[in-house]
Chains A and B, each alone.
Chain A
Amino acid sequence: MPELILSHVTRRFSGHTAVDDFSLTVRDGEFVCLLGPSGCGKTTTLRIIAGFERADAGRLTLDGADITHAPPQQRDIGLVFQSYALFPHKTVAENIGFGLKMRGRPRAAIAAAVEEALALVRLEGLGGRYPRALSGGQQQRVALARALAIRPRLLLMDEPLSNLDAQLREEMRNEIRRIQKSLGITAVLVTHDQAEALAMADRIAVMAKGRLQQMADPATIYEAPATAFVSGFIGQANVLEGRVESTGAEAVLALPGGVTLAGRGDGLAAGAATRAMVKHERMALCRAEPAQLANRFPCQVAERTYLGGSIAYRCEAAGMTLTALLPNHPLFESFAPGDTAWIGWAATDCAFFPC
């Protein structure tokens, strides 16, 4: 059972902690995305798993075996680099066959495996080319095929799609998932693109400043963020700061202007400074008062931004500046700057985080 477990892994660089007490379990056959802002330690974590960076503290196990101190070549982990790192002096076929050659497989077996890998990434017939004669997308596929040809116990990918244009990126997202599922391989993909993580992952590990913020399936990460960081990082949210007035299943937050908000949150203490966060698309904007919403305020539309599939409205309401994102659909009302309207949101969509 190729299961990867990181327990309390820490890595420091001259005083600066790049990976901080990081624990993570990737289950057999699972596709996990490691998501976080630039510099949060994603690459360092991946390099620790691959064996190119040592862990100052903590333990790694793969398949139940301790690999904390195993050299990279003995880990059986396939790695796709952001820069692809294809060998420029070897043909595509030699690149893909390299891992098997290092394992001393007979020539005929290697040739067959290379053909199979080329078919898997849909590059039949390109085995004789040199990497420089391939497009970015084709190089990406070769890098993937090379990592997969050794039938690794674990596949690691560091921002494999960031050098591709938007259309190719979407195509490759599906392609990578198709291949990963068909081989049933356990995989970890590093990205700072939340859309990529939400679309691809079985589970997402959100990371910030070297620490694990939350590990859950995409819907939970998006809809029930565990920390203010996750809430602000995934999607776009309105942020309001105030003090807790009462706690309970439905908590109440008092804003400086005297306005109160209904919402929910864990670990709240009455009187504590607290932040309310509501996703832009969970805001309702309408002409009639939305009586079913716990939080509702008359407002004035200040700005309208046309986004194609949706329209963003910036509104002023009771001293708050709020953004509502409405689908560009005839069922939804349309507003112009200067219009008066009602803005509102449900208590369940209003998450409170201590700050």
Chain B
Amino acid sequence: MTGARGVQWLLLLPSLLLLALLLGLPLAAMLANSLQPNVLLSFTGPALDNYGYLLSRSYYLQVILRTLRMAAVTTLVTIPLGYIAAMLLRRLSGRAGNLAIMGLTFPILAGPLTVVLGWMALLANGGPFLGPLVAAGLIGPPNLLGSETGVVISLVQFVLPFAVLTLYTGLRQIQPQLHEAARSLGAGSLSGFLHVTLPLSLPSALSASIIVFSLAASSFISPHYLGGAGQLTLTTLVTQFIMATFNAELAAAAAGLLLLLMLAAVIGITAAIGRFIRP
């Protein structure tokens, strides 16, 4: 047994090394850089001053909060929408289901930049959808471009396929007979769902939430094109530090904060959903 284990680890070793090399090294270099002195500050050795600098200015705190808020709202909107879509998908038969999944993954194939450019046209006050409504006086100018709402709308669209696929895979693994068993024992359709399907789908809801939050918090294209300089998030802030102020050390610290934020979110989400998962 232990021998077989050993061989397994040995076989895993090349990929582990590659992973450490490709992922670990840049990460370590980035974190090391975030501890270095930068032009704005006058400390000498490696220290947490860069982090202190960012965390002590309300402007940057607002950026951190905005990143957290956008990712959280995106997650809270996406998971229920994705859940409903996955439930509907589960009911479709083989061919219709495959077509639906292909349609769903199309935005992923098209690439986020293409889709975000579409959103820029669509969300503009004079856009093809909102323009006529504004012109007819039905709504005031919504000013979605450059707003947090606009970014969240496009983020939801971007992460939704990932959520649906994760939830769908999880729901597929729940035996349909379990719901029928609940019905035969006197549970209505809804109560069977609440007592059986929903609790059994929580592990996949947990995975989907983590994926969605991480994708939303680390996304760059949506906040960059739809939010702009008025709605900086940690990712766009990093770009600003690099491209506009040439401050690589603060950029590294901002990226380090994003990493911490996501780690905390993963722990938070796992604790929040995980305590309902039995046994």
**B-contacting residues of A (Cβ < 8 Å)?**
50-52, 71-73, 75-79, 81, 83, 85-90, 98-99, 102-103, 130, 132, 146-147, 150
| Contact between B200 and A98, CB atoms less than 8 A apart | no
- Assembled-state Cα–Cα distance A85/B185 (Å): 12
In the complex, A50 Cα to B184 Cα: how many Å?
7
- Establish whether residues A81 and B181, one from each chain, have CB atoms under 8 Å apart when the complex forms: yes
Q: Are B279 and A89 in contact (CB under 8 A)?
A: yes
Q: Which 5 A-B pairs have the closest CB atoms?
A: A99-B185, A102-B186, A85-B177, A79-B184, A85-B181
User: Can you name the residue of chain B whose Cβ is closest to the Cβ of A82?
Assistant: B177
Q: A87-B196, A88-B200, A89-B200 are in contact. Are A73 and B188 (CB under 8 A)?
A: yes
Which residues B178-197 have CB closer than 8 A to chain A? 178, 180-188, 191, 195-196
Q: Which residues of B contact A73 (CB under 8 A)?
A: 183-188
Partner of A98, one of B195, B199, B279: B195
Nearest-CB distance from B184 to chain A (Å)? 4
Q: How far is the CA of A78 from the CA of B180 in the complex (A)?
A: 11
Chain B residues in 8 Å Cβ range of A89: 199-200, 277-279
Q: Is B42 an interface residue (CB 8 A)?
A: no
Q: Using Cβ atoms and an 8 Å threshold, which residues of chain B touch A78?
A: 184-185
CA distance A132 to B185 in the complex (A): 21
**In angstroms, how far is the closest chain B Cβ from the Cβ of A297?**
54
Could you say which of B180, B183, B184, B200 has the most chain A C-beta atoms within 10 Å of its C-beta?
A: B184
Chain A residues contacting B180 (CB-CB under 8 Å) are: 50, 52, 72, 79, 81, 85
**Is chain A's binding surface mostly helix, strand, loop or mixed?**
loop
Report yes or no: A150 in contact with B177, Cβ–Cβ below 8 A.
no
The answer to whether A146 and B279 touch across the interface, beta carbons within 8 angstroms, is no
Given pairs A79-B180, A85-B181, A146-B181, 11 additional interface contacts (CB within 8 A):
A73-B187, A73-B188, A75-B184, A78-B184, A85-B178, A86-B181, A87-B196, A88-B200, A90-B278, A102-B187, A147-B185
Say what secondary structure dominates the interface of chain B.
helix
Q: Which residues of chain B have C-beta atoms less than 8 A from A99's C-beta?
A: 185-186
Q: Is the CB of B182 within 8 A of A98?
A: yes
Cβ distance B189 to chain A, nearest Cβ, rounded Å: 8
Measured in the bound complex, the distance between the Cα atoms of B184 and A52 in whole Å is 9
In the complex, B2 has a CB within 8 A of chain A: no
Q: Once the chains are docked, how many angstroms separate the CA of A78 from the CA of B188?
A: 15
**Nearest opposing residue in chain B for A79, CB measure:** B184
CB neighbours of B15 from chain A (8 A): none
B8 CB-CB contact with A under 8 Å:
no
Q: For this complex, into which size category does the number of interface residues on chain B fall?
A: 20 to 34
Q: For the complex, what is the distance from the CA of A85 to the CA of B199, rounded to whole Å?
A: 15
Which residue of chain A lies nearest to B187 when distances are taken between CB atoms in the complex?
A102
Any A CB within 8 A of the CB of B44: no
Within 8 A of A (CB), among B247-279: 277-279
Measured CB to CB, the nearest residue on chain A to B180 is: A52
Is there a chain A Cβ closer than 8 Å to B175's Cβ? yes
Q: How far is the CA of A308 from the CA of B188 in the complex (A)?
A: 53
Smallest distance from the beta carbon of B113 to chain A beta carbons, Å? Answer: 42
Q: How far is the CA of A150 from the CA of B184 in the complex (A)?
A: 10
- Report whether A102 and B191 are in contact in the complex, using a CB–CB cutoff of 8 Å: yes
The CA of A78 and the CA of B186, in the complex, are separated in Å by 10
**A146: chain B residues within 8 A (beta carbon):** 181, 185
- Cβ distance B212 to chain A, nearest Cβ, rounded Å: 24
Contact partners of B183 in chain A: CB under 8 A: 51-52, 71-73
| Given A89-B199, A89-B279, A130-B279, A150-B186 contact (CB < 8 Å) | yes
Residue with the greatest number of chain A CB neighbours at <10 A, chosen from B178, B181, B188:
B181
5 contacting pairs across A/B (C-beta < 8 A): A73-B185, A78-B185, A102-B191, A146-B181, A146-B185
Residues of B within 8 A of A83 (CB): 175, 177
Closest CB-CB distance, A32 to chain B, in whole Å? 18
* Closest Cβ neighbor of B178 among chain A residues: A85
How far in angstroms is the closest Cβ of chain B from A72?
Answer: 4
Closest chain-A Cβ to B265's Cβ sits at a distance in Å of 25
Shortest B240–chain A CB gap in Å is 48
Selected contact of B185 from candidates A52, A71, A130, A150, CB within 8 Å: A150
Q: How far is the CB of B202 from chain A (nearest CB, A)?
A: 9
Q: Which residues of A contact B199 (CB under 8 A)?
A: 89
> How far does the Cβ of A158 sit from chain B's closest Cβ, in whole Å?
10
A residues near B187, Cβ cutoff 8 Å: 73, 98, 102
Across-interface contacts of B277 in A (CB, < 8 A): 89
A85 to B178, CA, bound (A): 5
Name the distance in Å between A326's Cβ and chain B's nearest Cβ.
Answer: 46
Q: What's the least CB distance linking B191 to chain A, in Å? A: 7
Cα A90 to Cα B187 with chains together (Å): 15
Residue of A with least CB distance to B200? A89
Task: Return chain B residues, CB-CB under 8 Å to A81.
Answer: 177, 180-181
- Contacts of B175 on A, CB cut-off 8 Å? 83, 85
How many angstroms between the C-alpha atoms of A294 and B272 in the bound complex? 82
Chain B residues with CB under 8 Å of A76's CB are 186
A229 CB to nearest B CB, Å: 30
B182 partner residues in chain A, CB cutoff 8 A: 87, 98, 102
Query: What's the Cα separation between A102 and B188 when bound, in Å?
Result: 9
Q: Most B CB atoms within 10 A — which of A75, A87, A146, A147?
A: A87
